[in-house]
Amino acid sequence: MSASIALRGDHGAAKLWGAPVPPLTLIGPAGETTLPPPALHFTQDAEIYAEGDEAVYLYKVVSGMVRTCKFQTDGRRHVDAFHGQGDVFGFELGAEHALSAEAVTECAVIPYRRRVLESKAAQDETVARQLYRYAMQSLERTRQHAQLLGRASAPQKLAVFLLDLAGPRGAAVDLAMTRHDIADYLGLTIETVSRTLSHLERDGVLHLITARQIEIRDRAALRTLCG
């Protein structure tokens, strides 16, 4: 029997924004299936780990949303990524976290000791593949993010962002994050984010139900914007 056990909280397909991928699992301790999930809970804006902390764990999001970000010397913040249900975050090259991780919303995450995962990966090839695949997901998303930051106007950035959040079908988008989070993720200011959303509403592309709830009225127009 394989040591592979479907990770709790891995409901449905893991989602790489803009590119659905097959569901993945991560390994829990063998025989752990009968124990309650060892998930950690965090309140909104709580720090999960800080830049410079020793990188002991990888984390899998069970519920809620997490942001990984970096604070620059000039006081500004760069949001590296948002992580939702099923996403794994905490990958690092070095022994310390180069980013910090914070709860965007109240959330639950399962911590996996890197050392444990690595030794399991050494014993079980399927675990190694899963771990590698999660790392590649992180890489692929960061690449797409870099592309977006480098070569897109404010409307383009928001179009890509909203379509990613909405998924391939959804017409209503619930934003878990503030304008500030969005701005720091897209390399814009909160004013430009707000202005651009208002502009898209005037054009009939969106409807801003509340600040955090957006209805996509014209998905084709958004797609066209993405280029």
Partner DNA sequence: CGAGAGATTGACTGCGGTCAAAAAGCGTGG
Partner DNA sequence: CCACGCTTTTTGACCGCAGTCAATCTCTCG
Residues making contact with DNA (CB under 7 A): 153-155, 178-180, 187-198, 208, 210-212
168 contacts its own copies (rule: CB under 8 A): no
Tokens encoding 51: 């830049």
Which residue is listed with tokens 């449905």?
Answer: 12
94 contacts its own copies (rule: CB under 8 A): yes
Pick between residue 90 and residue 155 the one whose CB is nearest to DNA. Answer: 155
How many CA atoms lie less than 13 Å away from 173 in the CB half-sphere? 24
Query: What count of residues does the chain have?
Result: 227
Do residues 46 and 109 touch, judged by C-beta distance below 8 A? no
H helix or E strand, kind and range, residue 164: helix 154-166
Pick between residue 11 and residue 151 the one whose CB is nearest to its own copies. Answer: 151
**Nearest alpha-carbon partner for 85 in 140, 7, 143:** 7
Tell me the β-bridge partners of 173.
214
202 contacts its own copies (rule: CB under 8 A): no
Choosing from 49, 67, 80, 175, the residue that interacts with its own copies (CB under 8 A) is 80
Choosing from 72, 95, 169, 202, the residue that interacts with its own copies (CB under 8 A) is 72
74 contacts its own copies (rule: CB under 8 A): yes
> Which entry of DNA, its own copies, none binds 118, CB below 5 to 8 A by partner kind?
its own copies
The count of other CB atoms within 10 Å of the CB of residue 143 is 10
132 contacts its own copies (rule: CB under 8 A): yes
95 contacts its own copies (rule: CB under 8 A): no
Pick between residue 34 and residue 210 the one whose CB is nearest to DNA. Answer: 210
Do residues 209 and 167 touch, judged by C-beta distance below 8 A? no
**Nearest alpha-carbon partner for 148 in 2, 8, 17, 3:** 17
CB of 48 to its own copies, least distance (A): 17
Pick between residue 8 and residue 91 the one whose CB is nearest to its own copies. Answer: 91
Q: Phi first, then psi: what are they for 64, rounded to 5°?
A: 85, -170
Q: Which amino acid is at 118?
A: E
CB of 36 to its own copies, least distance (A): 30
Binding site for its own copies (CB under 8 A): 16, 19, 21, 70, 72-74, 76, 78, 80, 91-94, 98-99, 118, 121-122, 125, 128-129, 131-133, 135-140, 142-143, 145-147, 149-151, 186-187, 227
